Amino acid sequence: MRSGLSLEWHIVSSLWDLGNSYLANGKLEEALQVHERSLEMTRELCGYIDTHPDIAISLNSLGNVHFARGNHEEATKLYAESLEMYQTFYRASTMHFHMATTLSILGNVYRVQGTKRRIRTNGV
């Protein structure tokens, strides 16, 4: 996170790290709870606006937990919401690295599901 942020943003950053640590160690229930809390807190800090890259990061993190739990439909929904948010925030005409990463993740989910979907940079 950037310097000069409030204590709350540092807490969100710590929640992201903790959730990712739980996920990496297979503690999926704990990861789910922590990432849900970080998403809730991020939305609060962003003033409940519809589009913000930090909200999209939280959605991606929560999607990662659902993917690890085998809930691919929920993961796909969260990744798609994140991608739409990135496209709105960064303008769909620009390929930002967060957008590229999310597209790659979505492709992996579809591959695991065994579906053949075409992913376009202007929508899922």
**Domain residue spans in the chain?**
7-113
> Is the per-residue pLDDT at 99 higher than 70?
yes
Contact of 34 with 26, CB cutoff 8 Å: no
Mean pLDDT lowest for which of 14-23, 42-51, 61-70, 108-117? 108-117
| pLDDT at 119 (0 to 100) | 47
Cα 61 from chain centroid (whole Å): 4
| pLDDT at 121 (0 to 100) | 45
Mean pLDDT on 85-91: 83
Which neighbouring-strand residues pair with 120? 123
Pick the closest to residue 111 from 75, 81, 85 (CA basis): 75
Which neighbouring-strand residues pair with 123? 120
**pLDDT tens, 28-82?**
999 999 999 999 999 999 987 888 889 999 999 999 999 999 999 999 999 999 9
> Is the per-residue pLDDT at 92 higher than 70?
no
| pLDDT at 94 (0 to 100) | 67
The CATH code belonging to domain 7-113 is 1.25.40.10
| pLDDT at 1 (0 to 100) | 42
Going through 11-117 in order, the beta strands assigned E by DSSP cover none
